[in-house]
Structure 1
Amino acid sequence: MTGPDALAQDRRGGEMVAGANFGGRRWSWKNLSALVRLVKLGISYPQLRSTLFFIDRNADVVIAPGAKVTIGRELRIMRDVTIRVGGELVLGDRVFFNRGCNLNVLRRVVIGSDSLIGEMVSIHDDDHAIGAEFDGTPMGERPMIVSDVVIGSNVWIGSHCTIVRGVHIGDGAVIGANSVVTRDVEPRTVVAGAPARLLRRI
């Protein structure tokens, strides 16, 4: 891992460490704690490819053997975020996950640079198989169906949204809070609802 100057400052600030200055940025105690968490993560998962990034307390990241994770500059993962990667995860520069997000990757998820993921957002590239052929089979024993999720650059996903498998969200799109996105979203549009529908173009 390289680039100490890529570690994002906590928005709320904090007590500064006297004399600590890396790449022109002073680090708070909270960011130093985040660095320790990041180092532990890198030791646990050597397949992780990234610069330094901010990971808050109680964030839980699990990367399965054989999974691939590529992270751009200045990723921020706030507290209580859960990330599970069994396939391929690609995150661009300055991606932000707010508190309580859940990201599950069995196949492939891509999130472009400068995208903001609001509180309690759920993004899954998988779901359980349904249909008459599975009648009588407990839901937990059915096979998983997977398809890529691609979220473009400069996308804003409001709080408590659900992004289901196979969805592609175009650059500059805005997803209103509490939406369930079940189909592709065009670039530079605002959508909302369950299921999410076009409100306007921007």
Structure 2
Amino acid sequence: MIIKNNDPYTSASFSFAHRLKRQLWNTTYLLFFKFSPRPLHIWRSILLRLFGAKIGKGVHIYPGAKIWAPWNLNVGNYVGIADGATIYNMDIIKIGNYSVISQGAHLCGGSHDYNSSNFQLFAKPIILGEHVWVCAEAFVSLGVTVPDGVVIGARSLVTKTITEPWSVYAGHPAKRIGARTRN
């Protein structure tokens, strides 16, 4: 998907076909997704599926959620993605069953190699387990896996894979601050 060893100052980082597909999605997003009435979750799921997203049942994706590439989105059952959430999925982003992505949260699957002369663009997947809650305005970085039951506190920064399921993480960088019970 990403063109390697290009000169980003003079050429694109993605193929023409990929840019065309994203433009088609952006137009669809603007005309049919973003301004759709809030209760029309099924409608937005249909639009995302038309562009290759894997969407489970009972999913609530709100119209103000920003999704970069639906074909790289895999959402389980009964997931909520709030208005203002950003799903920057240059690579696969998988969200497990019963998870919540709150308003303003940012799942960022792409970055640049600051050691390369051309700041080479690269991407890695983000995997969220089941019953995960990414609270308001939290940031989850590329290559991160979050196990089942984890809560990431509001405005937290997660740059490394979390290893302890059913825990609460918060801060910059996020650290474990507590445990959750399974109810």
TM normalised by structure 2 equals 0.70
Cα offsets for 1:29-66 (capped at 9, x unmatched): 864xx279549x64xx6xx27xxxxxxxxxxxxx4xxx
Larger radius of gyration: 1
Tell me the residue number matched to 2:88. 104
Structure (1/2) with the larger strand percentage: 1
Tell me the residue number matched to 2:143. 166
- How far off its partner does 1:195 sit? 0.9
* 1:121 equivalenced with 2:137 (yes/no): no
Cα offsets for 1:8-29 (capped at 9, x unmatched): xxxxxxxxxxxxxxxxxxxxx8
Whole-Å Cα distance in 1 between the matches of residues 54 and 178 of structure 2? 33
Cα offsets for 1:135-173 (capped at 9, x unmatched): xx4xxxx32111110000001111000110000001000
Q: 2:41 touches 2:62 (CA, 8 Å); kept in 1?
A: no
Q: How does 1:1-202 map to 2 (within 5 A)?
A: 31=39, 34=40, 37-38=43-44, 42=47, 48=49, 63=51, 68-85=52-69, 88-131=72-115, 133-134=116-117, 137=118, 142-185=119-162, 186-202=164-180
Whole-Å Cα distance in 1 between the matches of residues 38 and 139 of structure 2? 30
Q: 1:87 touches 1:107 (CA, 8 Å); kept in 2?
A: no
- Which residue type is aligned with residue 94 of structure 1? Y
Whole-Å Cα distance in 2 between the matches of residues 30 and 107 of structure 1? 27
Helix, strand or coil at the partner of 1:110 = strand
Q: 1:167 touches 1:184 (CA, 8 Å); kept in 2?
A: yes
Percentage of matched positions with identical amino acids: 24
Give the gaps of 5 or more residues in structure 2.
1-36
Runs of 4+ in 1 over 4 A off after TM superposition: none
Q: 1:87 touches 1:106 (CA, 8 Å); kept in 2?
A: no
Cα offsets for 1:90-117 (capped at 9, x unmatched): 1000110112000011121110000011
Distance 1:145 1:173, change over 3 A: same
Whole-Å Cα distance in 1 between the matches of residues 91 and 85 of structure 2? 19
Structure (1/2) with the larger helix percentage: 2
Whole-Å Cα distance in 1 between the matches of residues 42 and 179 of structure 2? 43
- How far off its partner does 1:88 sit? 2.4
Distance 1:90 1:30, change over 3 A: closer
* Residues paired across the two proteins, number: 143
Cα offsets for 1:56-98 (capped at 9, x unmatched): xxxxxxx4xxxx4211001111232111116521100011011
Distance 1:30 1:165, change over 3 A: closer
